[in-house]
Amino acid sequence: MPEPSWSSVDRYIIDTFHLSDPVLEETLRSSAAAGLPSIQVSPPQGKFLHLLVRLLGAKRVLEIGTLGGYSATWMARALPPGGKLITLELEPRHAEVARKNLERAGVGKVVDVRVGRAVETLPTLGPEGPFDLVFIDADKEGYPDYFDWAVRLARPGSALVFDNIIREGAVLDPAHPDPRVRAVRLLNERMSSDPRVSATEVQTVGGKKWDGFALAVVQRPGP
Ligand code: SAH
Ligand code: DHB
Ligand code: MG
């Protein structure tokens, strides 16, 4: 038997757990047709986010980095009646594609795509929180700032998830020339020593190669 590749194992998981459907496929197809980069989460990761929303009983979810709305669709499908997902996107074109995809997926009413730089939108979101789950998947240079905003917009017991915190192991190099890698290292330093959260990171392989995600849970106030 040939040695299985990470992608073929992902394919097996997708098939076995039925992690694709015509609506999600159409979201990927229309995003690619519009020229969006194919950097959305994988189907198993999308289902993982979906299950996190359910585990948390999340009613208010915040996403930073919409792209074509693929991860947003997975999360929105897990919301209870009255639930709401706000997703922040820099590129108007991405937002436009996402809105069409979300509408087609039947979650257009529960997902609100806000266009602009996340650092400018985040300070406006206080009245719409607190958020039960924040999924951070936009520009990596912004991760340290997004961490701080996410904690402030959350409540005790909320979860923060960051995508792409391993990047093929690049994170090991403290002098890495790529500012995105240095930003993720700064995020890790802050997140690991911040008494407001308890956090860990999990490495992953699959269709998205070798990468990983961070999970932080906001602490309940001490005595
Ligand atoms: N979460 C999506 C993938 C997001 S890709 C999914 O899994 O389906 C990252 C997105 O972040 C891109 O669409 C990019 O345009 C957006 N982005 C980059 N910089 C940003 C910023 N400063 N503010 C908001 N969005 C940004
Ligand atoms: C890139 C960004 C992502 O969020 C991702 O999941 C994969 C790749 C990128 O910018 O290359
Ligand atoms: Mg990502």
Flag whether 180 is in a domain: yes
Q: How many domains does the chain have?
A: 1
Q: Give bridge partners of residue 85 from the DSSP assignment.
A: 61, 111
So what's the pLDDT on residue 170?
Answer: 94
Starting from the CA of residue 142, give the closest ligand: 1
Q: Could you tell me the residue range of the domain that residue 136 belongs to?
A: 3-218
Flag whether 195 is in a domain: yes
Half-sphere exposure of 87 (CA within 13 A, CB side): 32
With a cut of 50, list the residues of the chain below it in pLDDT. none
So what's the pLDDT on residue 221?
Answer: 79
CB of 137 within 6 A of ligand 2: the answer is yes
Flag whether 82 is in a domain: yes
Residue pair 138/161 in contact (Cβ under 8 Å)? The answer is no
So what's the pLDDT on residue 153?
Answer: 98
So what's the pLDDT on residue 207?
Answer: 87
Residue whose pair of structure tokens reads 């993720």 in the numeric block? 184
Starting from the CA of residue 42, give the closest ligand: 1
Flag whether 160 is in a domain: yes
Flag whether 81 is in a domain: yes
CA distances from 217 to 17, 56, 75, 113, 129 (A): 27, 11, 18, 25, 16
So what's the pLDDT on residue 208?
Answer: 87
What's the whole-model pTM score?
0.97
Q: What are phi and psi of 159, to 5 degrees?
A: -115, 140
Flag whether 223 is in a domain: no
CB of 71 within 6 A of ligand 1: the answer is yes
Flag whether 24 is in a domain: yes
**CATH assignment at residue 190:** 3.40.50.150
